[in-house]
Structure 1
Amino acid sequence: MTCRRGASCACYVGFFYFLYLFNIGNTQLLINVKNQGGDVLQESISSNVSEDTVTLEFQRSDGTLITQLVDFRNDVQILKALVLGEEERGQSQYQVMCFVCHFRKGDFISSDAMSKLRQKNPGTIRTPEEDRGRENHTMEFLVDVPRSGVISRHIASLCGEAGDATYTRDQDIKLWASQPGASLSALLSAVTRVPPTATPRCLETADLWTPCVCHLETCIGWYPCGLKYCKGKGDAKGKGGGGEYRCGIKTCKKCSLFAYYVRQKQLCLWDE
Structure 2
Amino acid sequence: MKGLNEFIGILIVLQYLYGICTTDLLINVKNQGGDIFSETITSNVSEDIITLEFQRSDGTLVTQLIDFRNKVQVIKVLVLGEEERGQHQYQVMCFVNYYYKMDFISSDAMSKLRQKNPGTIRIAEEDRGYTNYTMDLFLDATKSKLISKHIVTFCNEAADSTYTRNDDIKQWIQRLGISESLLMTAVHNFTSISVRHPEINNTTRSISVTKCADTSNLWASCSCALELCIGWYPCGLKFCKGKSDGKKIPSTYKCGIKTCKKYFIFSYYSKMKKNCLWDE
TM-score by length of 1: 0.88
Residue from 66, 72, 81 that aligns with 2:68: 72
Between 1:180-189 and 1:151-160, the stretch displaced more is 180-189
Name the SS of the counterpart of 1:109 in structure 2: coil
In structure 1, the residue matched to 2:210 is 200
Which of the pair has the greater relative contact order for Cα pairs under 8 Å at 6+ separation? 1
In structure 2, the residue matched to 1:17 is none
The answer to whether residue 87 in structure 2 is matched with residue 91 in structure 1 is yes
Q: Distance in 2 between matches of 1:270 and 1:178?
A: 37
Q: Distance in 1 between matches of 2:178 and 2:48?
A: 19
In structure 1, the residue matched to 2:277 is 269
Between 1:95-104 and 1:176-185, the stretch displaced more is 176-185
The answer to whether residue 140 in structure 2 is matched with residue 138 in structure 1 is no
Q: Distance in 1 between matches of 2:179 and 2:156?
A: 24
CA RMSD of aligned residues (A): 1.5
Q: Distance in 2 between matches of 1:68 and 1:251?
A: 16
Residue from 248, 262, 269 that aligns with 2:256: 248
5 Å-filtered alignment, 1:221-260, equals 221-234=231-244, 240=248, 242-260=250-268
Q: Distance in 2 between matches of 1:131 and 1:206?
A: 35
Shift of residue 182, structure 1, vs aligned partner: 3.7
- Contact 2:137 2:191 (C-alpha < 8 Å) held by counterparts: no
Name the SS of the counterpart of 1:175 in structure 2: helix
Query: What code does the residue aligned with 1:160 have?
Result: N
Distance 1:106 1:118, change over 3 A: same
- Contact 1:54 1:69 (C-alpha < 8 Å) held by counterparts: yes
Shift of residue 143, structure 1, vs aligned partner: 0.2
Shift of residue 260, structure 1, vs aligned partner: 0.3
Query: What code does the residue aligned with 1:259 have?
Result: S
Distance 1:195 1:136, change over 3 A: closer
Q: Distance in 1 between matches of 2:177 and 2:46?
A: 22
Shift of residue 56, structure 1, vs aligned partner: 0.2
Superposed CA deviations along residues 138-192 of structure 1, whole A, max 9, x for unmatched, are: 0110001110111111111110101110000111111111115343222211111
Q: Distance in 2 between matches of 1:195 and 1:223?
A: 32
Distance 1:252 1:140, change over 3 A: same
Residue from 219, 234, 238 that aligns with 2:229: 219
Name the SS of the counterpart of 1:150 in structure 2: coil
In structure 1, the residue matched to 2:9 is none
- Contact 1:86 1:92 (C-alpha < 8 Å) held by counterparts: yes
Query: What code does the residue aligned with 1:54 have?
Result: I
Between 1:149-158 and 1:50-59, the stretch displaced more is 149-158
In structure 1, the residue matched to 2:26 is 30
Q: Distance in 2 between matches of 1:95 and 1:247?
A: 42
Q: Which runs of 5+ in 2 are unaligned?
A: 1-18, 193-206
Superposed CA deviations along residues 48-99 of structure 1, whole A, max 9, x for unmatched, are: 0000000000000100000000000111000000000102102241000000
Query: What code does the residue aligned with 2:179 have?
Result: S
Shift of residue 242, structure 1, vs aligned partner: 4.5
In structure 2, the residue matched to 1:155 is 151
Q: Distance in 1 between matches of 2:216 and 2:103?
A: 39
In our comparison, the structure showing a higher alpha carbon Rg is 2
TM-score by length of 2: 0.85
Q: Distance in 2 between matches of 1:181 and 1:113?
A: 29
Q: Distance in 1 between matches of 2:153 and 2:247?
A: 54
Distance 1:161 1:247, change over 3 A: same
